Amino acid sequence: MKIGIFGAGHMGGAMIKGWIKSEKIEPSNLLVRGGRRGTAQSLQEELGFQLTSETSDFKEMDIIFLAVNTPLILPILNELKGLVETSSIPIVSVSAGVSVKEMQEIMGDKYPLAQAIPNTPVQINEGMTGIVFAENIDKKAKETIQFSFDLLGDLVEISEDKIGIFGTLAGCGPAFVDVFMESLADGAVLNGMDRDMAYQVAAKMVSSSANLLLKTGKHPGELKDGVTSPGGTTIKGVTALEKEGFRYATINAIDTIMKS
């Protein structure tokens, strides 16, 4: 598969790394057009994919991704329209700010389009991506898009009205978890643990706890109850979190993003 991607910033770069790490996509089959910041050039030196400044080069791709800032999505589609409309190369935007309907206003309602919201763990093939397909997308184009994301982790098809909350939970959530892990490590360092070990223990604890939930299918509260013995140390810690408004702070973080 030949993959074309506009943008090699945080998300574009993460996707590129994930495809190469999967060993299913050769760097030579990745064509990237970067922006003015030079991040694509730096990443290309590290990973060895193809770099171009010419939009016309993308007509040879099997699929095209737009991983650029929201204001650039529609202008790039205007660039691509005459180039790819007869070949029907699937185009996927990974920007939360442009809907499939807005893309269709330029490309037409019969063109194979999708809007996807991946998160940064795609770079280690453990991402969670939500996707909205154009209603009339054909089977072949849909399978091509699905295959490209399957290499990066899990893919969930969602309705267009849920793309915002999906992006907030899956896309912003990793930053919340990072803050949580950093705080856990700080608490451990405060009590004498080496910082590198503290980060390692915190990260593994979060990862294994999440996998336990996924593999058992148990409610998070049930798993919590299984650790909090009567009068024990864990319930004392949970009580301290409740006193400081841990739950409310987390809920409010999600709600604040959705209202912004």
Evaluate if residue 23 carries a pLDDT over 90: yes
pLDDT in the model for residue 38: 82
Mean per-residue pLDDT over the chain, rounded:
96
Express as a percent the part of the chain with pLDDT over 90: 95
Both tokens assigned to 21: 């790490």
pLDDT in the model for residue 234: 98
Quote the CA–CA distance of 148 and 118 in Å, as a whole number. 12
pLDDT in the model for residue 44: 95
- Average pLDDT on 180-201 reads 98
Express as a percent the part of the chain with pLDDT over 70: 100
- Residues 38-61: pLDDT tens digits? 889 999 999 999 999 999 999 999
CA 204 to each of CA 62, 138, 170, 193, 228: distance values in angstroms, whole numbers, following the listed order:
38, 41, 19, 16, 20
Quote the CA–CA distance of 220 and 152 in Å, as a whole number. 26
Neighbours of 185 (CB within 10 A): 20
Backbone φ and ψ for 10, nearest 5 degrees, come out as: -60, -50
Is 166 within 8 Å of 158 (Cβ atoms)?
A: yes
Residue given tokens 């409310």 in the structure block: 248
Helix axes 70-84, 100-107, angle to 10 degrees: 40
Q: Environment class of residue 259 by beta-carbon count within 10 Å: exposed (0-12), middle (13-18) or buried (19+)?
A: exposed
Is 15 within 8 Å of 75 (Cβ atoms)?
A: no
Residue given tokens 């499939």 in the structure block: 100
Is 4 within 8 Å of 63 (Cβ atoms)?
A: yes
- Residues 200-248: pLDDT tens digits? 999 999 999 999 999 999 999 999 999 999 999 999 999 999 999 999 9
pLDDT in the model for residue 35: 79
Evaluate if residue 37 carries a pLDDT over 90: no
Whole-model pTM: value is 0.93
Quote the CA–CA distance of 101 and 118 in Å, as a whole number. 19
pLDDT in the model for residue 156: 97
pLDDT in the model for residue 10: 94
- Residues 105-141: pLDDT tens digits? 999 999 999 999 999 999 999 999 999 999 999 999 9
